[in-house]
Amino acid sequence: MKTKNTYLLIVLMLFSIVINAQDENQNNITSEPLVTDRPDATEASSTVGKGILQIETGGLYESFEENAVTSQSYTFNTTLVRYGILDNIELRLGWDFVEGVTKVNGNKLNNVTSGLSPLLLGVKIDIAEEKNGMPEIAFIGHVFPLFSASKDYRPETTGVDFRFSLSHTLSDNSSLGYNIGAQWGDDSSEAAAIYTLAYGYSFTDKFGMYAELYGDLPEDSSANHYWDAGLTYLLSNDLQLDAYVGTSITEGQDILIGLGASFRIPTK
């Protein structure tokens, strides 16, 4: 519990420091293509910009089979709402609707679970721009209030996570992004380190791809490692479509398939 309180104090301190250092000059962000936090697990190292509302949503399917028992999960709504309150600070709100199905030897059981996962409440803060070989850096923190979840997906404790998001421009068409941080959740008091590493490449101004490794390393449990890859397509500077597929390197996931869309709305 002390660790969680320390984490929350760090978030508040960072928030205060960046507000005091806020530059009043504003950029015309909407003239550039939007940058999203989906579809990969690697969060972008930039915020949406002051007065910008960005909505990123989609659906995904996961499946894992062990000893003739198949666990399937359908997430129908993976919506993340991002709003820039300053040029370098955004507020974040997310909520998922999930349905879980269990099959034994191909026969569906009656113990179907469904409902909303815990609400995501968070903030992203720009820390540094990419310069002289140093990466662009942002800090991201979330809290997941347990009261916001449906009965089937309600944990016993409130979860929190934080990460630092970093990125390098490799060329005009390619980039490298990576996250490192920690999380507390899933009704466990142990912390788990989290990491992601994603390579992105643009075939054209509109069509791109990525490949990614990500996972978590709990203090007292086995590590979990995954990979995924996907495609993105810009219909306009303010609208992007995506599709992706993945699986686990360690046990826990046989297949992951997802589709989504992201759009940006200037509010000022």
Q: Is 154 exposed, middle or buried (0-12, 13-18, 19+ CB in 10 A)?
A: middle
Does residue 8 have a pLDDT over 60? no
Mapping DSSP to helix (H, G, I), strand (E, B) and coil, where does residue 247 land?
strand
| Per-residue model confidence (pLDDT) at position 266 | 86
- Span 252-268, mean pLDDT? 93
Which helix (DSSP H) or strand (DSSP E) does residue 22 occupy? none
Which letter does DSSP use for residue 255 in this model?
E
pTM of the model: 0.85
| Per-residue model confidence (pLDDT) at position 30 | 59
Q: Domains in the chain, start-ordered, CATH in brackets?
A: 2-21+48-266 (2.40.160.40)
- Model pLDDT for residues 163-207, shown as the tens digit of each residue: 999 999 999 999 999 999 999 986 677 899 999 999 999 999 999
| Per-residue model confidence (pLDDT) at position 37 | 97
